[in-house]
């Protein structure tokens, strides 16, 4: 079955998220009474968070730890965060209306956006860096403010490998300032005496989400609402190009992958789909303009599908949000979102007012000055690898890519010690999409497992390796020619440990099941073990491996192969000892 079609094991999680999305879509107009202050996006996130943080989670068997074995919803929520999200992004291309775009207004909008969008990006990252937030969170807040709120955040998240928790926090913070815009833009614009065109453009250029943007324009008047929709449409159209830009900035080219994977790393296929659907919308609006039934009906159906898909994704996001996370991190995200919104709202207002007054030279000069100041702040305070070291010292979570950057930083100072490896492994929480390359790597070693290198030391021989044990996998009894410190990211495996009892005999010293977040350590040549995945879910390990030693790796082939399943602690096994050679380890994108 294609990966983009849900399997039976993915239906419970997908069904839970879709059910909450349906409730959100039904409940929003009942609660809001037509007000744009309450949206299906925020309602879906809220319902998901309510389920996760209430006794309902235990009642339906929803695990608090997303990777815990036995959680029937984990695979479906992962499917939702990947494939349903990509479907929504592609179909969003048909939502970008082109009939409101007029040449004069378009030129004015473009002139303002040339200054406001990059400045907003710079300020969001500078504030995020000052507050100790990760670069991925700054990316989400920036694009949500620059383009179209939750839709842009959800579209960008897989491209920059953001966490689902970060998606929820960013969406909530961005929507908060849509509400602020609803409360403040009308009185400010009225006090300044903005003309109708400027007021409508300000609503389109300064409000985060589409519904609130049109609503703010409607507060100024009916014509202003149409102009606001036009200005907002231009920002939405920029989503595709901006996704391409972010994919170039945040993803590195694979070193040892196929051409298809290289192109995917630079230009994700869902971005291509979005651009193609937008082209279809442009062509359809022209070709079927005289058709009063079929084309509008198709667009209306597409709007419904996108609305349900986005609400489903947002419900799955809510199912990742813990209340303690909102208390601990939310205020910093809110401050970053506030700084970004004040930047885009204030700067666009200043450019529109000065442009309407005809002071073109002041308009251009002022825009360039503000843009330069924003860039300077970004270079000075934006999140960097140094802040990653600080977050490691403070015990904060690291994405897989951040762990790679930290290991690279530590490796420049000398060989990565076991104590440093433990600290890094204890903090790793892979983000959306970071394990995809491992899941899609070839089966290796004749054991039905997958193995991928995420980082390799340039000087000291260390590496960060991911291992995926497919259901039913049983490795041979083996030792390693290196020492390693690792942690299980998801799934549960059985580990049987041995010691030498003679030249051709091993004695069982331990037998245990290790689940998510369990640490795994082994010493060069001395640790002899067997790993077996007896469950129905994939199990994934990450290992920081030391440089190869002189002792070599060995494989211990049991002469009675069936006995390994029943051996108790203290029992012995007769084996044949041979040299063990690992297959060539493929490198992940970025290695």
Domain boundaries, the chain: 8-381, 436-587
Backbone φ and ψ of 509, nearest 5°:
-110, -15
- Binning the chain into helix, strand and coil, the percentages to the nearest 5 are 60, 15, 30
C-alpha dihedral sign at 386, 387, 391, 393:
positive
User: What are the structure tokens assigned to 16, written together?
Assistant: 């839970």
What crossing angle do the helices spanning 196-206 and 210-220 adopt, rounded to 10°? 160
Please classify residue 503 by burial: count the beta carbons closer than 10 Å to its beta carbon, then call 0-12 exposed, 13-18 middle and 19+ buried: exposed
Spatial separation of the C-alpha atoms in residues 432 and 455, rounded to whole Å:
18
What size, in residues, is the chain?
Answer: 591
pLDDT in tens, 168-194: 889 889 888 887 887 899 899 989 989
Give which of 559, 431, 567 is closest to 504, Cα–Cα.
Answer: 559
- Look-up: residue for tokens 């947002």? 314
- Look-up: residue for tokens 């899609």? 440
Spatial separation of the C-alpha atoms in residues 521 and 480, rounded to whole Å:
11
Give which of 172, 126, 41 is closest to 336, Cα–Cα.
Answer: 126
Residues (pLDDT < 50) of the chain are 66-70, 252-267, 386, 591
Q: pLDDT value at position 587?
A: 54
Q: pLDDT value at position 264?
A: 42
Contacts of 415-420 with CB under 8 Å at 24 or more apart are 415/457, 415/460, 415/462, 415/546, 415/547, 416/457, 416/460, 416/462, 416/544, 416/546, 418/483, 418/485, 418/521, 418/546
- What's the CA angle centered on 406, arms 401 and 411, to 5 degrees? 125
Which of 3.40.1010.10, 3.30.1360.170, 2.60.120.10, 1.10.10.10 is the CATH number of 436-587? 2.60.120.10
Spatial separation of the C-alpha atoms in residues 402 and 425, rounded to whole Å:
11
User: What are the structure tokens assigned to 171, written together?
Assistant: 């969406």
pLDDT in tens, 28-64: 888 877 665 577 877 888 898 899 888 888 888 886 5
Spatial separation of the C-alpha atoms in residues 204 and 212, rounded to whole Å:
9
Please classify residue 462 by burial: count the beta carbons closer than 10 Å to its beta carbon, then call 0-12 exposed, 13-18 middle and 19+ buried: buried
Q: By three-state DSSP, how is residue 501 classified?
A: strand
Spatial separation of the C-alpha atoms in residues 523 and 33, rounded to whole Å:
64
């Amino acid at each position: 079955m294609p990966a983009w079609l849900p399997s039976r094991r993915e239906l419970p999680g997908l069904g839970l998220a879709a059910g909450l999305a349906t409730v959100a879509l039904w409940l929003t107009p009942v609660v809001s009474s037509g007000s744009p202050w309450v949206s299906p996006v925020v309602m879906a996130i809220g319902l998901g968070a309510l389920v996760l943080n209430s006794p309902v989670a235990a009642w339906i068997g929803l695990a608090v730890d997303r990777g815990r074995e036995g959680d029937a919803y984990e695979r479906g929520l992962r499917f939702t965060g990947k494939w349903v999200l990509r479907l929504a992004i592609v179909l969003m291309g048909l939502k970008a209306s082109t009939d409101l775009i007029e040449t004069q207004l378009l030129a004015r909008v473009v002139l303002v956006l040339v200054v406001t969008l990059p400045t907003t990006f710079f300020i969001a990252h500078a504030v995020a860096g000052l507050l100790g937030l990760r670069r991925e969170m700054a990316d989400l807040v920036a694009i949500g403010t620059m383009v179209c709120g939750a839709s842009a955040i959800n579209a960008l998240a897989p491209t920059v490998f953001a966490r689902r928790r970060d998606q929820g926090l960013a969406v909530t913070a961005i929507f908060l300032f849509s509400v602020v815009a609803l409360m403040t833009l009308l009185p400010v614009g009225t006090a300044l005496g903005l003309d109708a065109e400027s007021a409508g453009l300000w609503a389109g250029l300064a409000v985060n989400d589409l519904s609130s943007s049109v609503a703010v324009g409607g507060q100024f008047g009916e014509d202003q609402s149409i102009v606001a929709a036009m200005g907002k449409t231009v920002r939405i159209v920029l989503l595709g190009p901006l996704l391409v830009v972010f994919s170039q900035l945040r993803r590195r080219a694979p070193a040892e992958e196929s051409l298809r994977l290289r192109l995917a790393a630079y230009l994700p296929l869902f971005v291509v789909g979005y651009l193609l659907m937008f082209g279809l919308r442009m062509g359809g609006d022209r070709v079927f303009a005289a058709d009063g039934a079929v084309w509008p009906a198709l667009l209306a159906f597409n709007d419904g599908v996108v609305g349900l898909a986005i609400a489903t994704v947002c419900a799955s996001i809510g199912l990742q949000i813990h209340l303690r996370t909102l208390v601990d991190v939310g205020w910093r995200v809110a401050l970053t979102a506030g700084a970004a919104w004040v930047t885009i709202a204030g700067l666009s207002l200043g450019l529109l007012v000065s442009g309407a007054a005809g002071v073109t030279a002041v308009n251009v000069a002022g825009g360039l000055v503000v843009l330069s100041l924003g860039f300077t702040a970004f270079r000075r305070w934006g999140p960097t690898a140094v802040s990653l070291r600080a977050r490691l010292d403070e015990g904060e979570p690291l994405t897989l890519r951040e762990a790679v950057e930290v290991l690279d930083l530590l490796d420049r100072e000398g060989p990565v010690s076991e104590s440093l490896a433990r600290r890094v492994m204890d903090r790793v929480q892979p983000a959306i999409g970071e394990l995809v390359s491992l899941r899609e790597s070839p089966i290796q070693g004749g054991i039905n497992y997958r193995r991928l290198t995420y980082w390799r030391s340039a000087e000291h021989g260390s590496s960060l390796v991911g291992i995926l044990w497919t259901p039913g996998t049983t490795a041979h009894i083996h030792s390693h020619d290196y020492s390693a410190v690792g942690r299980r990211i998801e799934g549960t495996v059985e580990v049987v440990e041995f010691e030498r009892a003679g030249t051709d005999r091993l004695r069982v010293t331990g037998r245990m099941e290790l689940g998510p977040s369990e640490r795994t350590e082994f010493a060069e040549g001395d640790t002899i073990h067997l790993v077996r995945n007896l469950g129905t879910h994939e199990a994934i390990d990450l290992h920081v491996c030391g440089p190869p030693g002189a002792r070599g790796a060995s494989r211990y082939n049991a002469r009675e192969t069936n006995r390994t399943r029943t051996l108790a602690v203290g029992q012995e096994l007769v084996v044949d000892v041979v040299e063990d050679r690992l297959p060539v380890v493929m490198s992940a994108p970025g290695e």
